[in-house]
Every structure is written in structure tokens, then in C-alpha cells.
Chain A
Amino acid sequence: MKKKDLLDDLSSIKNIMERSTKFISLSGLSGVMAGVYALVGAGYAFTVLQSGKAAGPGHTYRDEVIVPLVFTAIAVLILSVSTGIWLTIRKARRKGLTVWNPVSKALLLSGGIPLATGGLVIIILLLQRHFAIISAGCLIFYGLALVSASHHTFGDVKWLGIFEVIIGLAALAIPGYGFLLWVLGFGVMHILYGAIMHFKYDREVNA
């Protein structure tokens, strides 16, 4: 037994253990894109909100304001998720790894439970017209989903989740700043996080 063989054995164990428990194909660029979509969506939402305000007091929460806002949010969500899936599959292919494996299943399950719960809470809040706390609800449940999912991927995801929860709690505590904090949490934080992830993990793959 040579020393090199021993070290190879140890490093192969470390590598395999990591790959069997952590999904490392998440793309940083998809985080940046999600942030950009969120900012564009928020820009449109802002003009809708302004027109509601211009129509007079109490108009902000009328259906003609709320309905376009909900559709904008759904469009941002669909675009972000599909871009994320596409870029993640691309990254996995480049690395020669599979996308659908026990680790990605565990990742989706652990993130999916808080996320689906949050989605249902948001729908219920919408139906009961508790519009003021929806922004906080999105941020808090999304953050918890990230913290939960982070056990199966890069540890950085946990930090993004913790920040989202803090921003969500702030949105709950400071009424009137929900929209601004939503922009911070989903727009700015995603771009920041995505850029960090991209430069930390993706660059050698794209080079």
C-alpha cells in the first residue's frame, strides 16, 4: 500500500459521501435570473399599485389591482422555476451527473413540504383578503423551505433562507413596507446569492 493509494482512497470516500448526500448541480445563474424576473415583475406591480392609489383611497385592495398582481406573481414564479430547472439540468449534464436521483428527490421533498404549506397559506390569505401580510408570508415560508432543503445541497442555501425569514419577519413587523421588503427578499437577495454561488461553484464548469 502506497501513501498515494491511501490518500486516493480517503478522498474518493469523501467525494462519494458528499455526492450521495448533497445535490451540487443547483445553478447559481438561475438565482440571478429569478432575482431579475422578480425585479421586473415588481416594477410592473408598482405601476399597477400607483394606478390603484391614483384612483383614490381604498382602491389599492380592489380586485382590479389585486388580480393583475396575483397573475404577475404567478408569471414570475413559473419563469423562475422553469429557468432554474433548465439551468440545473444543463449544469448537471456538463458535469456528467444525473438530475433525478435520491438526493434531488430528498431535496425536493424537504423543501417542498414547507413550500407547499406556504403556497396554501398564501391562497387562503388571498381568498380571505388579508392582503397586507401576504408579502411577509411568501418570504417566511420560502425562507423556511430553503433552510429545510439546504441539508441536501450547498450550505449557502441555508443562509439565503435565514435572510429571507428575517426579511419576512421585518415585513410583518413594519406595516406598509411589505412591497419594498418583497423586492429586497426575492429580487436583490436572489441576485446577490446567485452571483456568489456562480463565482464560488460554477465558474470552473463553464470555463
Chain B
Amino acid sequence: MKLTLDNFDKAFENRIRLQAMSVLVANESYDFNSLKELLDVTDGNLASHLKALEKEEYITVTKSFLGRKPNTRYQATKAGIAAFKKHLEALENLIKQQK
């Protein structure tokens, strides 16, 4: 069975990327360590996926210091939220097609 992959966003093909994006859509912003705990992934893994989302300009990064500790926060961009919604619709359509 051939499925139409219109609107299916390659940036969200990976589940960790999709999950990270969903957290940033549901929240104003989230910091790296909390995101890591929530998704239960390693530093390097999460960093590379966030980098990919950043490259697509779906998220923005703000680096600051809390005392001496670096605090990296992520925020979804308007384009990112729109792309995420479109991707969700695509997922729903795929499921409907398969019925």
C-alpha cells in the first residue's frame, strides 16, 4: 500500500526530535537538563537532535548562567509550531488512509 507523504516533515522523522518539539510546543520554554530527564536520553543524543531542529529554525536557543552553572533554554519558533501542527495533521491523515 502506497501512502502519500505530503506534509510529512523529515525533521520530525526521528521520535526524540518529535518528542522534544512537542514539549516545546506545549511549554513556553524548557531547559536542556529537564528535557533530558523528561525524554530519558543521553546528553549527546539530545544535543544532536536539538541542533537539527535549530538548523531548521524550528527552535531557538538562549544560553545564560544561573550562578556558575550554564543554563541552556529552548523555545519553539512560530515556524516550528506551524511545522509541528502540519506534521501532526499528516500523521492523522496517514492513519485515516490506512483504515
User: Chain A residues in contact with chain B, CB under 8 A?
Assistant: 1, 3, 6-7, 9-10, 12-13, 16-17, 19-21, 98, 101-102
Contact = CB atoms under 8 A, between A and B. Distances in A.
B13 to A, nearest CB: 9
A20 B27 contact: yes
B98 A16 contact: no
A102 B3 contact: no
A39 B34 CA distance: 39
Nearest to B19: A16
B15 A102 contact: no
Interface size class of B (residues with CB under 8 A): 20 to 34
A13 B18 contact: yes
Contacts of A98: 37
Contact of B31 (A9, A19, A102): A102
A9 B94 CA distance: 12
Contacts of A10: 88, 91-92, 95
A22 to B, nearest CB: 10
A19 B51 CA distance: 23
B27 A102 contact: yes
B88 A13 contact: yes
Contacts of B66: none
A30 to B, nearest CB: 23
22 contacts: A1-B3, A1-B94, A6-B98, A9-B15, A9-B18, A10-B91, A10-B92, A10-B95, A12-B18, A12-B19, A13-B18, A16-B19, A16-B22, A16-B23, A16-B38, A17-B25, A19-B38, A20-B26, A20-B30, A101-B38, A102-B30, A102-B31
Interface string B10-44: 00000100110011011100110010011100000
A13 B30 CA distance: 16
A13 B37 contact: no
A21 B95 contact: no
Interface in B79-95: 88, 91-92, 94-95
A13 B34 contact: no
A4 to B, nearest CB: 10
Given A12-B18, A21-B27, 10 more contacts: A3-B98, A6-B95, A10-B92, A12-B19, A16-B19, A17-B22, A17-B25, A19-B38, A98-B37, A102-B31
